[in-house]
Amino acid sequence: MTFSFLPTTKQEMYAKGWQSIDIILITGDAYIDHPSFGAALIGRFLEEHGYKVGIIAQPDWENPDDFKALGKPNLFFGITAGNLDSMIANYTAEKRKRRTDSYSEGGEPGRRPDRACLVYSNCVRQAFPGVPIVLGGLEASCRRFVHYDYWSNKLRRSILFDSRADVLVYGMGEQSLLKITECIKNGEKDFSGIPNTAYITRKIPETTHLNLASYETLLENKKEYARTTLLYAKEISKKESIQIIQECQNRYVVVEPPKPLTTQELDHIYELPFTRKAHPKYIKPVPANGFVKYSVVSHRGCYGGCSFCSLGMHQGKYIVSRSKKSILNEVKNIIVKQSDFKGSILDVGGPSANMYGSFCTSQKGCTRTSCLYPVICKNLKHQQSQHLAILNEISRVPEIKNVFVNSGVRFDLALKDPNYIDKICAKHVSGQMSIAPEHICGDVLALMQKPSFKVYKEYVAQFRKASKKYDKKQYLIPYFIAAHPGCTLQHMYELSIYLKENHMRVEQVQNYIPIPLTLSEAMYYSGYDVFSLTKIHVPKEEERLMQRALLQPYIKSNHNLLKKALKILNKERSFSFLTGSSLSYRKN
C-alpha cells in the first residue's frame, strides 16, 4: 500500500513503507499538498532529495502527544508558523481576536497559538530534548534581528534566543535547508557560510561583515533603531551583500547573505509531485486553498520596496522567474489533478504580476531598497511583454477558457508599456482588478515609498480607456492604508473628501500593522522618518480608529469616531457630506 501525501501519523508512515522519519515539519497551517503552502513545498523538496519527511499540521500546543504523532525524527524538527505571521493571523490591526483563519479547516480560528514558532519550539524541546530545531517561514524570517513587537509594544530579541532553535532559514532558502540537513546528517553543528541562514555564536566571526547596533543600544535609543533598520535594509538590497552581525547579551546573531535560486532550481521545485489537494483527514475545505488551487506562481521576489511590506526583506528584491515551460507544465497539472477545474486559471503572477521576467542590468546592484521609487531605476530591465507571452501561451491550451491576473499589477510599472495595459484589459481581467495606491497625499506616499497619486490617476485613465475599447465592464479595486506613520487626520480627511467627490466607497481598507523588519515598523516604533531621521507624527490608539472612520464614513458604526475626528479638524460641516448621498459641498 502507498500513501500519496507526506505522512501525518505513524499509520500513514507505515503505509509508505517507512519505519521512521528523518525530518518532521511542524506548521501552523492546515496541510494542503500544494506548492503555495510552505511546509508542503519544503517537505516535497527534501523528500525528492531522499529524506523521509512527515508533517504535523496545527498541533494542539496544550497536548504533548500531538508533537509525538510521528515519533522522534532521525535528524531534526523544522518549525514554521505557516504562510502568515501567527500574530497577524490571530489578531486584527486593533489587536482584537480574528473570527476566521483562512489557513484552517472550515476557516476556524484558534488552531494556531500566538507566537507559534516559540510555542512549537518549546513543545518540541519538552517532548524531545536535544533534537535539533530549524526555524523557517515568514514569522521567523521577519524576526531574525532585534525587532519591535506591536502586540507587546516593546523591542524583542532575535527569535533565535527565545526559541532556542539551532538555526533559522529565511527567504528563498530551499537549497540552504538542504545544506543544513546534510550538516545535521553528518553530525556537524557549524552552519556558518550557508546562505539565507541566521544563527547564534559567542564570538564575532573573522569575516567581512556589517555590525549593527546591539540589542542593549537599541533599547535605549529609538533614533538608532530607525537608522539601523534602514542600514540592514540597504545591505540586503545589494546583489552581493555581506554577513550582518548583531550583539545581544554577550552573544551574536549572525545573518548570512541571501543567495537567490536560479530559474532552473525554481522550476524544479514547482514540478515536484504535489497532489494539489488537502490532506484527506479534512472534512471541511480550507479557505486559503480555494484561490491558489487554480493559480500559478510565476516568480519570486519584489523590487517595489514599499516601506510597510515585509516581502523584500524576506524573499529579496531581485526577481527569479520560472520558465514558460515550467509554468505551462503546472497549468497542465491543474487540468489533470483538479477534478473540479472548470477552465479558468485565476492567476498567473506573484507579489506584482507584471514583474515577471524583470532583471537588474547592474553587475553589483545597488543599495536602493526600491527599484521603482522615487523613479524607476535605469538599470531595471522590465519585460512585461514576457508576462503577456506566457498568458497567451496558457490561453492556447485547449482545456483553458480564461486566464486572469488577480494578484494585481504594479501600476507605475504598467504605465511604461501601454500595450501591457491594453492586452490585460482585453483578456485577463476577471471583472475587477486589485490595485494599491495606498493614499493620495504626497507626504505619506513618500514615507511609504509609493508613486505619486497622479501616477495612479494616469493608470486609472488608461485602464478605463482600454476597457471601453473592448466594451468590457471592468473595475479597479483600490487598496488604502489608514494610520501609517506620518499620516495625520488632515491627510485622511483629504483622502476621504477625494473618495466622496469621486463616488468611491472603499471596502479594501487596512489599518496599518507594524510588521517586524520593515521600514514602516521602525518609523512606528521610533517616531522617526528612517530616511531623514527627522521626527514624524505616528497615529496611535483612538486616532487609528478615527483615521479608518474617515475612510469609511458610510458605515453608521463609524459615525461617532467620524464626528470626533471632524471636530478636531474643525470640519464639522463636512459630516453630512461625507455620510450622505448629496455632493452639494463647499470646503469650510
- Distance, in Å, from the CA atom of 225 to the CA atom of 531, rounded to the nearest integer, reads 12
pLDDT in tens, 216-229: 999 999 999 999 99
Q: What is the pLDDT of residue 313?
A: 85
SS (H, E, C) 234-282: HHCCECCCCEEEEEECCEEEEECCCCCCCHHHHHHHHCCCCCCCECCCC
Q: 360 is written with which cell numbers? A: 537588474
CA of residue 395 relative to chain centroid, distance: 28
CA angle 256, 168, 188 (to 5 degrees): 85
- Distance, in Å, from the CA atom of 478 to the CA atom of 216, rounded to the nearest integer, reads 42
Q: How many CA atoms lie within 13 A of 469 on its CB side?
A: 14
* Domains of the chain, first to last: 10-255 (3.40.50)
What type of residue is 499? Answer: L
pLDDT in tens, 388-415: 999 999 999 999 999 999 988 999 999 9
- Distance, in Å, from the CA atom of 448 to the CA atom of 439, rounded to the nearest integer, reads 9
| Positive or negative: CA dihedral 324, 5, 286, 514 | negative
Cis peptide before 374 (omega within 30 of 0): yes
DSSP class per residue in 398-466:
TT--EE---S---HHHHTT-HHHHHHHHHHS--SEEEEEEE-S-HHHHHHHT---HHHHHHHHHHHHHH
Nearest partner of 94 among 418, 452, 354, 482, judged by Cα: 482
SS3 198: strand
Q: What is the pLDDT of residue 206?
A: 85
- Distance, in Å, from the CA atom of 423 to the CA atom of 19, rounded to the nearest integer, reads 54
Instruction: Bin 531: left if φ > 0, else alpha if -120 < ψ < 50, else beta.
Output: alpha
Q: What is the pLDDT of residue 581?
A: 55
User: For the CA atoms of the chain, what is the radius of gyration?
Assistant: 24
Nearest partner of 303 among 213, 367, 399, judged by Cα: 367
Q: What is the pLDDT of residue 507?
A: 81
483538479: which residue's cell?
338
Interacting residues of 17 by C-beta distance below 8 A, sequence separation 6+: 2
- Distance, in Å, from the CA atom of 409 to the CA atom of 355, rounded to the nearest integer, reads 8
Give how far Cα 504 sits from Cα of 437, 450, 467, 553, Å: 14, 21, 19, 11
Residues of the chain with pLDDT under 70: 1, 581-588
